[in-house]
Amino acid sequence: MSALSWKPSLRHSVSEWLSNNQQLAATAQHERHVSQQVRQEGRTLRNETHCKTVWDEGDTSRRLSDRIWDVSRWRDVLEICAQKVDEEMEALTLSKERSELALAATSVPLEVTNECLTLREGRRGYELVSDPVEEQLKQEVELIEGVQQRLQRSVDQAFEQLGILQEIRHQLTSDLQNKMEAVDIDTSCLSLTIKSQSISLKTNPTRIPSGSSSPQQWAQFSQYNVARAHEAVLVSQQMRENMSLSRAQVQNELEAQRRAAEFALRKRKHHEEQARDELQWQIKTTEDEMAAMEGDIRGLDADLQAKMASLKLAHTRLEARTRRSGMDLCRDEVQHGLVAEVQQLESTIQALKQKLSDAQLSLQKMTLHHSCMCQDLSRKQEALSLEERSMQCRTRITSQSGSDRTAVPLVNSSGRSNLQLLAQ
């Protein structure tokens, strides 16, 4: 035994061995305790995070549902508003086209009235008078021109309002399109689950995209679009009422002026017919008087020739008796009678000549006045013919008025019957 070799090494005492064993046991117990605590905390964290995740997912789904409801409500409001704008555009377009038709219908009355004024300028002499007909026709021209300006302003205002409505509708349609896209996106997000195949991790998904708006700005934007549309619709409705009232007033004013002008024209024609008939009677009476005067002139001339023969006889007798001689050249009763006869005949002849001259002068004046009356009658007949042509010309206005009362189908120039959305 003493011969065995052994290697010397560090030796521990029993107390150290016991202490090491105790330390190992204590460390193991501590690590187990820490492990149990970590496991308990992990289980608690798992439960808490699971509940939190489930709660957050549910809350997000609820918020998505609420958001979808809000956006859908605004989408419905915008659709109704856009539909009202479309209907108002169609109504305003129809009213504008009616005003355009009323404006086009004034061209014929204006043309006819100017033609009547031009025809009546063809009157001559004293027939070319500034009568009530001319005054009424000029008033009609002024009225029609004023009506055309009023209708043209209405059409221009309607055209501008249609442009405003078109721009508003474009804004509504754009907002509506965005909300429909938002509803589709949120509905798609609401349908996603953790088992969906399309889910994946994204790069920086919490970033704020450029152009984002706050909920207040989002609501105010749609409220502004709807309020602006309602205001434009109200303005358009008032404009249509004004246009309808203006068309009715214009029609009444034109009709009243047309009747006044035609009444003045008929009255003037009646007066001209009376003047023509009176002048024709005057001409006929003058012609009768001229014929009578011509007969009297022939009688006066015949009497004058007869008196000249008697005067020649008396002169011849007196001259023959001057050839008596001696005491027979006596101024006897015969001589005195012949002298008195000559004097009487010369006085008679002078009176006949004067009366013949007066008659011829009167006949000449009547002939000249007869010529003037014939010329005036010609002018009166010509003026009367112009008045009749004017009245005949104005029948175009009444015939057009009758045709305007016939219903005329109109086509909506907007060309829009259903709600149209902007292309994506």
- pLDDT, residue 404, reads 56
Quick one: which of 374, 370, 346 has its CA closest to 293?
A: 370
- How many Cβ atoms sit within 10 Å of the Cβ of residue 262? 19
Report which secondary-structure segment, H or E, holds 77. Answer: helix 14-105
Number of structural domains, the chain? Answer: 1
- pLDDT, residue 401, reads 62
Q: Is residue 340 part of a domain?
A: no
**What is the reported pTM?**
0.72
Q: Is residue 321 part of a domain?
A: no
Q: Is residue 109 part of a domain?
A: yes
Q: Mark residue 184 as left, alpha or beta (left: phi above 0; alpha: psi -120 to 50; beta: remaining).
A: alpha
Rounded to whole angstroms, how far apart are CA atoms 264 and 135?
A: 9
CATH number of the domain at 229, please. Answer: 1.10.287
Query: Which amino acid is located at 295 in the chain?
Result: G
- pLDDT, residue 141, reads 95
- pLDDT, residue 296, reads 92
Q: Is residue 4 part of a domain?
A: no
- pLDDT, residue 8, reads 61
Q: For the chain, how long is the longest CA-to-CA vector?
A: 259
Q: Note the pLDDT tens digit of each residue in 153-186.
A: 999 999 999 999 999 999 999 999 999 999 998 8
Q: Is residue 312 part of a domain?
A: no
Burial string for 165-180 (b: 16+ CB within 10 Å, else e) reads beebbebbbebbbbbb
Q: Which residues of the chain fall below pLDDT 50?
A: 1-2, 405-424
- pLDDT, residue 134, reads 92
Domain range enclosing 80: 24-191+218-266
Q: Is residue 301 part of a domain?
A: no
Q: Is residue 120 part of a domain?
A: yes
Q: Note the pLDDT tens digit of each residue in 388-403.
A: 999 999 988 877 665 5
Q: Is residue 275 part of a domain?
A: no
